[in-house]
Amino acid sequence: MLIILLGKKATSKTSLTISKTSYHKVFMAKKKIASKKATPKKKSPARKKINKRKAKQHVYFFGGNKADGDGSQKALLGGKGANLSEMSRIGLPVPAGMAITTEVCTYYYANKKTYPKTLDNEIKTNIAKIEKVMGKKFGDLKNPLLLSVRSGARESMPGMMDTILNLGINDEIVESLSAKTGNSKFAWDSYRRFLQMYGSVVMGVDAHEGEHHDPYEVILDKAKAKAKVTDDSGLEESDLRWVVAEFKKLIKKRSGEAFPEDPMAQLYGSINAVFNSWNNDRAKVYRAKYGIPAEWGTAVNVQAMVFGNTGKTSGTGVAFTRDPATGENVFYGEYLIDAQGEDVVAGVRTPKPIAKMVKDLPKSHRELLKVRKILEKHFRDVQDVEFTIEEGKLWMLQTRNGKRTGFAAVNIALDMVKERLITRNEAILRIPAEDLSHLLAPIFDLATERKATKIGSGLPAGPGAASGKIYFSAEDSVKAASKGESVILVRQATSPEDLRGMIAADGILTTEGGASSHAALVARQMGKVCVCGAHGMTIDYGKKTLSGNGETLKEGDALSLNGFVGNVYKGTIKSSPSQVIQGLIENKAAGKRSDTYKKFMELMSWTDKLRKLGVRTNSDTPEQVEQAIKFGAEGIGLTRAEHMFFEGNRIDSVREMILADDDAGRAKALTKIKKFMKKDFIGIFKSLAGRPATIRLLDPPLHEFIGTMDAVQKKDLSKKIGMSASAITKRVHALHEENPMLGHRGCRLGISYPAVTATQVEAILEAAAVVQAKGTKVLPEIMVPLVAYARELELQKQVIDETAASVRKKLGLKKSQLKYTVGTMIEIPRAAITADKVAEHAEFFSFGTNDLTQTGLGLSRDDSSSFLPTYQDAEVLSNNPFAGLDQEGVGQLVEMGVRGGRSTKPNLKIGICGEHGGDSDSVKFFHRTGLNYVSCSPFRIPVARLAAAQAVLEERGQSRSEIS
Amino acid sequence: MLIILLGKKATSKTSLTISKTSYHKVFMAKKKIASKKATPKKKSPARKKINKRKAKQHVYFFGGNKADGDGSQKALLGGKGANLSEMSRIGLPVPAGMAITTEVCTYYYANKKTYPKTLDNEIKTNIAKIEKVMGKKFGDLKNPLLLSVRSGARESMPGMMDTILNLGINDEIVESLSAKTGNSKFAWDSYRRFLQMYGSVVMGVDAHEGEHHDPYEVILDKAKAKAKVTDDSGLEESDLRWVVAEFKKLIKKRSGEAFPEDPMAQLYGSINAVFNSWNNDRAKVYRAKYGIPAEWGTAVNVQAMVFGNTGKTSGTGVAFTRDPATGENVFYGEYLIDAQGEDVVAGVRTPKPIAKMVKDLPKSHRELLKVRKILEKHFRDVQDVEFTIEEGKLWMLQTRNGKRTGFAAVNIALDMVKERLITRNEAILRIPAEDLSHLLAPIFDLATERKATKIGSGLPAGPGAASGKIYFSAEDSVKAASKGESVILVRQATSPEDLRGMIAADGILTTEGGASSHAALVARQMGKVCVCGAHGMTIDYGKKTLSGNGETLKEGDALSLNGFVGNVYKGTIKSSPSQVIQGLIENKAAGKRSDTYKKFMELMSWTDKLRKLGVRTNSDTPEQVEQAIKFGAEGIGLTRAEHMFFEGNRIDSVREMILADDDAGRAKALTKIKKFMKKDFIGIFKSLAGRPATIRLLDPPLHEFIGTMDAVQKKDLSKKIGMSASAITKRVHALHEENPMLGHRGCRLGISYPAVTATQVEAILEAAAVVQAKGTKVLPEIMVPLVAYARELELQKQVIDETAASVRKKLGLKKSQLKYTVGTMIEIPRAAITADKVAEHAEFFSFGTNDLTQTGLGLSRDDSSSFLPTYQDAEVLSNNPFAGLDQEGVGQLVEMGVRGGRSTKPNLKIGICGEHGGDSDSVKFFHRTGLNYVSCSPFRIPVARLAAAQAVLEERGQSRSEIS
């Protein structure tokens, strides 16, 4: 019946025992469909021949130092299959096998879970090849070949899909295996392992819902009790015979079907199961998380089994060709004697470090070191390998590029350049740009961290390590920090009012909100350690306590945050700034001497030679600007007028301005505001030392500055500005908006109150004049936010130009002596769509991709965290659109904006200053779109520089390596 | 100096008295610029000749039965100039004059308020022509010609720009005028009128700020006191001489400049003033309101003065060739004997109805009747004329198409078709589609309304007339209405919770919010009379009072609303449904017999033959649907699932569903909701009688259903659903969103809670099955809202299809026995941009232009009313983008959506169901964009039908009339 499905007549051999098992239903369906089909049109013999010759190859053999495929065919053969083929090609000892291609997987899902007609034949042919190379026969009673069936997608998805080992045993074969190996315990143990895997994975016999114990383990426990042993390995042949019989009964009873004795049926059942596991829930969630498209599919690898569990001269292990945590050039791994692969992973026995093999298995160790060299030389990258030693013979079961930390990525790439294994450009492409931020963050001592008490976890929103005393308000945090305490600010969620507290704190913990919450965004910009949305933890603001995992901490108690992974620990763990920060920002000799610092600096110098995109910074203070410049910022891409408003008592003047109900009252308050704005701009311009600065005029809804006042604050303000508390309340109420993000903000404020714009421009230009007078060049680029209509920009430009004229007049300066440009944020779809018209009034554009994402997707950044996880699970989104640009949708608006703007002004300078300016994939998109620069928070600048360089190489068609 | 400006050498005549007046500064500027220019390149003589021949004509003469221009040149000559030219051409008695073109106005503003070089020459030449025709000479001492200078834009902007009359008098000429006419009082009165106008308009001498009395009137009052008369007309020559002298002193003192005695200087000063007045604040506001582009500019008409104030055989008047209020075919107007034009308008003397002229001026009356016939025959439309009779001679001073009410527009157009003056297509183009709604609204008795006490006014948000007792809450309104009272619901603003009250009320008054507020939109949909944003009025909910204009009304007091104009009256004014409603909706014989009803029905039948766009309705109840069908709806374009939720106690179940914190709780509540939804859909499907229905699944943010509960309601609900009040409060808090419009709503809810979608689909399809079983065809089109990603639609379509399959199975129906289609709203920019992908899963699109406008412009409908007025004043917007589609911006998204959708499915059915579906300009846009249908509220359907027909004619290049 199986064979009918696969397009051939049934033979007695394969149709014997397979009849009612559920996994064959699809075959029945296929048969029906096939029988319904009309006779195909006759083709001329010549044509037929060509078709036959060109018939697609679905199965690729490897083994015996040969292979149909090679390492470059990851898309077709999966990562595992391609690398097994490559290893076989270059003469490494690989158990023979075959890769069934990912195209078969795609076909399977596109055709109601059926297979191409020719597949069956190809599988049979390749089994014959495997048999020949391994000198054993599948299903043979004398010298039986056992097989493994494993998944293998283009990108590794560890543990997500199914695996079946020891396939090809039945009641007869187990006896011959026993006889042949002279190891009946091994034979029966292999059989029970196979039954356990096949029963659960292929036949779906698992713990029932509500059943607390795995039914196979229950049987094993019974056997052990009967045999009076505590360990599985204590079971002897007779015990295992009983276990096998019980397993078979269990499977029959629960599935209603007998375990298939026929090896070919076992094989097809297993292949089905692996293809099906491509779409199990685990795999889907993983794909959504890592942005792996469902249409890639998985390959299936069918490979001869080799056994590390046949005695003291056998064993199994995993290794990295270099240390994946540090990048150090040492062989790194572990092994177990007399064990199968899963024993290493399962953690029942403690594996030994690989160096100890010198004693246990000296010959194999020597071989392994040789293999290590060959692999690195051939794949020109760190390899993550699995191996088995069967009675002294080394077999390589897998190799793949090793995952590594950001530290290791930099170290390895730059070492390999020195070793002449790879080129500089390859090194640039090898380092995931995002991981570069790991080099900037403070780090815990690993050993100490492992001993600490974990009391919660959340999203890793700001990489790094921080310990300090907890405080529950910005005020308390500031107070404690001023006493020299290290502070962890703990809030349910943060708001702009918490800014001073966040600045004072070493780390920030929130129990609500996601990766795009205020806390996450600000922490990212400030380079603060941050764990956000630690949902299992609770805060009692009244009692000033934080609880989690049964522990309750009071104000002032010590807490530690690991912002790399999102862990929250009770107590203090010692941390220190990374060597890069020590050298680059703190200017410490120790940091500068470090290897990581030197490599980081060298890498950055390479990227700067390559990249075409400029990199600027989003910074609001002179300190941030100075830091950003050290990170490589070439200017400011975004400095926010309103971020100056929260410092000290400034907010009072801002509130006075907002609450004023006439122009005179507003003018009075504006005078105060101008004074501190001017002071800040002087600081910023000085820090920039001649670099350009894009300054965005007041953007947020007014309510944001006044909506958060409580009764006490209102009373206090009432005294300060001489307005009754009830009048304040009334005005606050009047300014309340249903959807403030779409409300009276940005240039809309400037058009309603031109004096607000004029004041800011005065502050900017007067500050520019002060700094210029001291010999420092100043290039203010005044940016009008939230423009939807060209006319809005035209009107605001009039105000700016008129104000500039009056400032110049007042200061006695000529036009050439006080220069500035006027441009706009493109952050509303209408502005992008009508960019040709907007450009008539603009000297530059800067895409505000945060707002453009909000409006383009109709999605509030603040509110979407409640359903974005559902969206990722449902594969609507593969990432958070506020972190990585939605290139397909919002990206088109960016392209329209660039096209429109440059159609009016071919040389229009265009940048981007949304959060996406520091996201590596987005940076590459902006490069392709032809932007002039990206702007991001200081700590993201190295990421942007590297991504910008990678974009150039990718545009040239270069990949991270020619082979792997 | 003036002449230098205009490109010629100064002559002693014109340069005599003009030296320091401010309005000549521009001329100085021009001179400087001219002197800076390099010598122009030499051109060959031939070339020069061609240029000369082609030199632009800036001035167009009319008079003496001739004219340079004609009635078709409104864009160039302005409406007034073009029609004066046309009248002159067809032999009507028009005082000679010239039109200075709108291109000169454009030139003036584009060139720093200077004029084309050749203009001066052209003006002089044309003055000579005027002199010749009129037999008088400008500035002549013997037989002086006086001139008027008036604005004249392409479209009439009554009273917005400046006018100067009696120009060309000075101290010498007044004497000769006096001698020539033998009427010294007339001569001196003309002089003082001229001084008053020239002083104020041209020289800017007006009341100071803070000065309460007009300084000219102060002098006139002194003169009257001295002369002991009460009326201006009581002043004799000597008094007027004193007035003239005082006026001159006043002008000199306040402006620092002497009044120019030179007639040519007077003329140029006046021309400047009129061009300048194109950009005065009044004119800008008017243009913004009526969507007149600033670049059109105004023409200036310089015309010989004729005088209706020279005695008993003189007079002046205004008239319409038919009654502009009713459309009746009678000559309609009024006149004054011995008066100038402005006396009619000023209202100091009461004019007589035109019929009385038979007695007073029988010859002129006969002439006028002849002119009326000629005008109507020639212009083929109702004309609004101004005339003056100077000593028995009739002069026509203006003609233009008469403004008319919606009633008159329909009556006149259909009468003229009968009279064979115009074609049916012209009739269709003549009726402003928007005005058609006037025919549907209830009306007050005009005489009674005029006597009523006006206590406030607001925006006319729902046309019609309504009287009733005032109530301040929905509950009280419902209660009162159930007792048979007529109710006016008075609220600061309305929300969805007020819906029952709004349904119960005859009229709705709000003191806050604009034309796009909830009240306005719902009133429009329900066809309720509504005045909204009556800002001068105040509500005290505690005392239940409404105050305005010094009056205070209590609950239950009578109030009347005129929703055509926005007036609010104390007391009851009798109103009745329009004849069209009586005939069409109420099926009353009296209505059906009426002429208006017959004409309306005939007009509608014409539009239906022409239009290509389908017209559907946005309706939520069977009653609305039935009404809509009578208005011509061809199906439902939008019925909102959630609008069923507010009726009766249904909201409790909805709240229970929302507050449930698990699937089981949700399922329980959903069962209740399904029951009433099914009942409603049965009603709607029955009413549709086989027409299609687009049903939008639950769209608004959940918080909208629960956010408005007060403590009492929460307690009440707590009892009903067995959830603690504190738990309710907590959940309400958790569901609160910062920007609900961009939050967890639309398909996002359906994806988070598929059961919510499934329940709605069950209700729809089970209802369809019930109605079908009774022999009525049902065509449900299930519409998924707020899709941004194609995958969202794909997922919701899966839920819908699976639910449908289970409903069919339950009911034992085949696929062909229970049909439906699945489509989506295009209301998020991303969906429009990626419409090709979205279309893969859609069987239809419907543009949700309300949300598409909100997101496309980044503009909240609820919040924008606070600054939209500023935006209109600043000419950012010419209309409210939520009422009329922003064709340039949002329109491009609609075009992208159509293009994308049809690129995937060439025959994709596409409609629009936003508010814009009932806006005539937007309807025309949708026709051009290739949509299949528009959908709007029932009362807007006739408007949409007419606009759709007009769109077809306009596409063919037809205009409302070949001549005018």
Question: By percentage, how much of chain B surpasses pLDDT 70?
Answer: 92
Shortest distance, CA A865 to any CA of chain B (angstroms): 10
Extract the tokens encoding A66. 């040969």
Q: Are B829 and A858 in contact (CB < 8 Å)?
A: yes
- Higher local confidence (pLDDT), A332 or A952: A952
Count Cβ atoms within 10 A of the Cβ of residue A780 and give its class: 0-12 exposed, 13-18 middle, 19 or more buried: buried
For A853, the closest chain B residue by CA position comes to B830
Q: Which of A63-72, A779-788, B714-723 has the lowest mean pLDDT?
A: B714-723
Per-residue model confidence (pLDDT) at position B39: 44
Identify the pLDDT of residue A291.
75
Mean pLDDT confidence for B599-627: 96
Cβ-based neighbours of A587, under 8 Å, separated by 6 or more: none
Q: What pLDDT score was predicted for residue A15?
A: 29
What's the rounded Cα separation, in Å, for the pair A119 and A137? 20
Q: Decide if B332 contacts B324 (C-beta within 8 A).
A: yes
Q: Does A110 score more than 70 pLDDT?
A: yes
Average pLDDT over residues A847-855: 97
In this prediction, what percent of chain A has a pLDDT beyond 90? 64
Q: How do residues B858-872 score in pLDDT, each as one tens digit?
A: 999 878 877 876 787
Q: What is the mean pLDDT of residues B183-207?
A: 92
- Specify the pLDDT at position A733: 80
So which residues of B are the catalytic ones?
Answer: 518, 913
A611-668 tens-digit pLDDT: 999 999 999 999 999 999 999 999 999 999 887 787 777 888 888 888 887 888 889 8
Residue A445 has pLDDT above 70, yes or no: yes
Specify which residues A502 forms β-bridges with. none
Q: How open is the CA angle B836-B837-B842, to the nearest 5 degrees?
A: 90
Asked if A876 lies within 8 A of B791 by C-beta distance, the reply is: yes
A309 pLDDT exceeds 90? no
Asked if residue A289 has pLDDT above 80, the reply is no
Nearest to B738 among A862, A871, A876 (CB): A862
Residue A841 known to be catalytic: no
Query: Which of A749, A859, A865, A870 has the highest number of chain B CBs within 10 A, making it the mutation to test binding with B?
Result: A859
Arithmetic mean of pLDDT over chain A = 88
Helix (H, G, I), strand (E, B) or coil at A892: helix
Which of B663, B830, B893 is the mutation pick for testing A, counting most A CBs within 10 A?
A: B830
**What pLDDT, on a 0 to 100 scale, did the predictor assign at position A25?**
39
B496 DSSP assignment:
G
Q: Give the distance, in angstroms, between the CA of residue B376 and the centroid of all CA atoms in the same chain.
A: 26
Question: Residue B855 corresponds to which tokens in the numbers above?
Answer: 């997101």
Higher pLDDT, A356 or B662: A356
Instruction: Select the residue of B752, B854, B876 nearest A789 (Cβ to Cβ).
Output: B876
Answer yes or no: is pLDDT of A32 > 60.
no
Of A530, A747, A913, A936, the catalytic one is A913
Q: Which of B789, B857, B867 sits opposite A828 (nearest CB)?
A: B857
DSSP-based three-state secondary structure for A352:
strand
Predicted pLDDT of residue B731? 81
Q: Using the predicted structure, report yes or no on whether residue A692 has a pLDDT greater than 90.
A: yes
Task: Please report which confidence band the pLDDT of residue B41 belongs to, taking 50, 70 and 90 as the band edges.
Answer: very low
pLDDT per position as a tens digit, A175-190: 999 998 888 999 999 9
Q: Dmax over Cα atoms in chain B, in whole Å?
A: 105
At residue B25 the predicted structure's pLDDT band, cuts being 50, 70 and 90, is very low
Assess whether pLDDT exceeds 80 at residue A836.
Answer: yes
Question: Dihedral sign, CA of A614, A618, A620, A624?
Answer: negative
* Residue, of A437 and A856, whose pLDDT is higher: A856
Count other C-beta atoms under 10 Å from residue B436's C-beta: 28
Chain B: give the shortest CA distance to residue A669, in Å: 22
The answer to whether A886 contacts B860, with C-beta atoms less than 8 Å apart, is no
Which pLDDT does position A880 carry in this prediction? 83
> Quick check: A908 pLDDT over 90?
yes
Best of A739, A877, A885 to disrupt the B interface (most B CBs within 10 Å) is: A739
In this prediction, what percent of chain B has a pLDDT beyond 90? 64
User: Hey, are the CB atoms on B858 and A742 less than 8 Å from each other?
Assistant: yes
Among the listed residues A86, A75, A270, the one whose alpha carbon sits nearest the alpha carbon of residue A153: A75
Q: Residue A348: its pLDDT value, please? A: 58
Quick one: pLDDT at residue B514? 65
How would you class A554 by CB atoms within 10 Å of its CB: exposed for 0-12, middle for 13-18, buried for 19 or more? exposed
pLDDT in tens, A917-930: 999 999 999 999 99
Would you state the pLDDT for residue A438? Answer: 80
Note whether B789 contacts A874, CB cutoff 8 Å.
no
Chain B residue closest in CA terms to A795: B874
Residue A196 has pLDDT above 70, yes or no: yes
- pLDDT per residue as tens digits for the range B892-938: 999 999 999 999 999 999 999 988 999 999 999 999 999 999 999 99
DSSP 3-state of A936? strand
Q: For B312, phi and psi rounded to 5 degrees? A: -70, -20
Cα distance from B730 to chain A (closest Cα, Å)?
Answer: 15
Q: What is the pLDDT of residues B462-473, one digit of tens each?
A: 778 999 999 999
Task: Decide: B887 and B895 in contact? Cβ < 8 Å.
Answer: no
CA distance A498 to chain B (A): 18
pLDDT of B816 higher than 50 = yes
- Compute the distance between CA of residue A489 and CA of residue A500 in angstroms, rounded to an integer: 11
Interface touch B744/A867, C-beta < 8 Å: yes
Residue length of chain A: 964
Q: How far is A785 from chain B (nearest CA, A)?
A: 12
In this prediction, residue A405 carries a pLDDT of 74
Q: Which residues of B touch A834 (CB under 8 A)?
A: 888-889, 892
- How confident is residue A430, by pLDDT bands cut at 50, 70 and 90? very high
- Using one digit for the tens of pLDDT, what is the confidence trace for B387-407? 999 999 999 999 988 878 788
Q: Per residue in A772-816, pLDDT tens? A: 999 999 999 999 999 999 999 999 999 999 999 999 999 999 999
CB contact under 8 A, A829 and B856: yes
> How far is residue A678's CA from residue A766's CA, in Å, rounded to a whole number?
7
A850 vs A15, residue with greater confidence: A850
Most B-contacting residue of A730, A794, A876 (CB-CB within 10 A), to test interface:
A876
Which residue from B527, B537, B547 is spatially nearest to B493, judged by alpha carbons? Answer: B537
- The answer to whether A856 contacts B742, with C-beta atoms less than 8 Å apart, is no
pLDDT at res. A960:
63
Q: Do A829 and B893 touch (CB under 8 A)?
A: yes
DSSP secondary-structure letter at B515? T
Does the structure show a pLDDT above 70 at A52? no
The per-residue pLDDT for A528 is 84
Among the ranges given (A122-126, B21-25, B223-227), the one the predictor scored with the smallest mean pLDDT:
B21-25
For residue A860, the chain B residues in CB contact (below 8 A) are 737-739, 741-743
| Closest chain A C-alpha to B740 CA, distance in angstroms | 7
State residue A938's pLDDT score. Answer: 93
Q: What is the mean pLDDT of chain B?
A: 88
Contact B789 A867 (CB under 8 A): no
Query: Quick one: pLDDT at residue B346?
Result: 57
Render pLDDT for A502-545 as a digit per residue (tens, 0 to 9).
Answer: 888 999 999 987 654 678 767 765 668 899 889 889 999 999 99
One-letter-per-residue 3-state SS of A847-890? ECHHHHHHHHCCCCCCCHHHCHHHHHHCCCCCCCCCCCCCCCCH
Q: At how many degrees (to 10) do helices B941-955 and B595-610 cross?
A: 50
Nearest CA in chain B to A748: B867
Closest by Cβ to B741, choosing from A739, A795, A862: A739
pLDDT at residue number A347: 54
Which ipTM did the prediction report? 0.78
Query: What is the 3-class SS of B832-876, one letter each residue?
Result: HHCHHHHHHHCCEEEECHHHHHHHHHCCCCCCHHHCHHHHHHCCC
Q: Which of B752, B827, B833 sits opposite A867 (nearest CB)?
A: B752
